[in-house]
Amino acid sequence: MPDADKPKKNERDVKDPKGTAKLPDAPGTLAAVGVAASTGLQMAGGAVAGLLLGRWFDSWAGTSPWGLVLGIFFGLIAGFWGVYKRLTGSG
């Protein structure tokens, strides 16, 4: 039977000797995971930076807990802004 008549197999249909399915070759999936991971890290990094700066300001000015609260707030805003710029391509 010629190769053109054979049904094409997806990599998911091909089994390895152990009987587990192989993952399809999908570079787009890895790129999406990379974008999601960097987005999460950017959000967390902004919040952590705001937290640290807020705690430092509280210890310096004696305004506990307001520096911490405002630091986290502004850190989250900075994280959201960075994510927005990354996802819209404006930065």
Q: DSSP string of 59-88?
A: HHH--TTHHHHHHHHHHHHHHHHHHHHHHH
Q: How far is Cα 77 from Cα 66, in angstroms, rounded to an integer?
A: 16
- Judged by DSSP in three states, 14 sits in coil
Q: What is the pLDDT of residue 86?
A: 86
pLDDT single digits (tens) 61-71? 999 899 999 99
Q: How far is Cα 66 from Cα 61, in angstroms, rounded to an integer?
A: 10
Q: Interhelix angle for 66-88 vs 27-61, to 10°?
A: 160
Per-residue pLDDT, averaged over 57-78, amounts to 95
